Amino acid sequence: MYNNALVESGWSILKTELLPRGACSVDLEEARLELAEYLDHYCNTQRLHSALGYCTPLEIELQYRFNLP
């Protein structure tokens, strides 16, 4: 039996944060563009993640890249 709790949690967060912003896609291509903007712009550059010490994924990536020996 597979545990899909992580995926279900991800979908829940996506629906909670993306849909209230007025994202009501008419077609598949528009939905893809909305999702790409949400992930690339908001999630990776603005949304703070508790698992990352309340930093954005971009901040963590930049810290990693510039703190390497």
Q: C-alpha distances in angstroms, 61 versus 4, 40, 46?
A: 27, 14, 13
Largest CA distance in the chain: 49
What is the residue-wise DSSP string for 15-69? HHHHGGGT---SSHHHHHHHHHHIIIIIIHHT--BGGGTSB-HHHHHHHHHHT--
Decide if pLDDT at 1 tops 60: no
Candidate ranges 17-21, 24-28, 31-35; pick with highest mean pLDDT: 31-35
* pLDDT, tens digit, 9 for 90 and up, residues 32-62: 888 888 888 888 899 898 889 999 999 999 9
Q: Say if pTM beats, i.e. exceeds, 0.75.
A: no
